[in-house]
């Protein structure tokens, strides 16, 4: 097999495996995407697991749909604009295969979790 043919075979194999293609996220709700990509650090309610991820408690005031979308795209870069975030903690960027409409659903779910934690505090 030539190198070009081998490369084509590899690329074709990755594309058709489909485990992380945009279409996988198009069908999922914000909650389902959150369960897949975020709960391992933040927990289903956003309280954070074992001190790993940032807890969402008391954080609602820092975020809008627009700033949250921007943050998820590149958390390290956004940190410079958000003094409440910790310089010592690492938050990975959102999987680039998540398409725009699915990002909107995800952000809606995250803000809903923040609202719920806020309401529980009162």
Interaction site with ligand HEC (CB under 6 A): 37-38, 40-42, 52-54, 56, 59, 62, 68, 72, 79, 85-86, 89-92, 94, 106, 110
Between CA 91 and CA 110 the distance in angstroms is: 15
Q: How far is the CB of 2 from ligand HEC (least distance, A)?
A: 40
**Closest CB to ligand HEC among 7 and 29?**
29
Residue 63 DSSP class: -
Between CA 40 and CA 43 the distance in angstroms is: 6
Q: How far is the CB of 37 from ligand HEC (least distance, A)?
A: 4
Q: How far is the CB of 59 from ligand HEC (least distance, A)?
A: 4
Using a 10 angstrom Cβ sphere, with 0-12 exposed, 13-18 middle and 19 or more buried, the burial of residue 106 is buried
**Closest CB to ligand HEC among 4 and 121?**
121
State both tokens at 20.
Answer: 């992380």
**Closest CB to ligand HEC among 12 and 43?**
43
Q: How far is the CB of 9 from ligand HEC (least distance, A)?
A: 32
Between CA 47 and CA 41 the distance in angstroms is: 9
Place of tokens 């959150």: 34
**Closest CB to ligand HEC among 106 and 117?**
106
């Amino acid at each position: 097999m030539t190198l070009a043919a081998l490369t084509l075979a590899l690329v074709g194999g990755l594309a058709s495996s489909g485990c992380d293609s945009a279409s996988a996220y198009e069908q999922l709700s914000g909650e389902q995407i959150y369960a897949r990509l975020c709960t391992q650090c933040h927990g289903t309610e956003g309280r954070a697991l074992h001190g790993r991820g940032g807890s969402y408690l008391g954080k609602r005031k820092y975020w809008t749909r627009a700033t949250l979308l921007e943050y998820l795209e590149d958390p390290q870069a956004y940190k410079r604009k958000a003094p409440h975030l910790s310089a010592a903690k690492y938050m990975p960027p959102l999987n680039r295969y998540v398409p725009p409409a699915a990002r909107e659903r995800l952000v809606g779910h995250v803000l809903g979790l923040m609202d719920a934690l806020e309401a529980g505090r009162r």
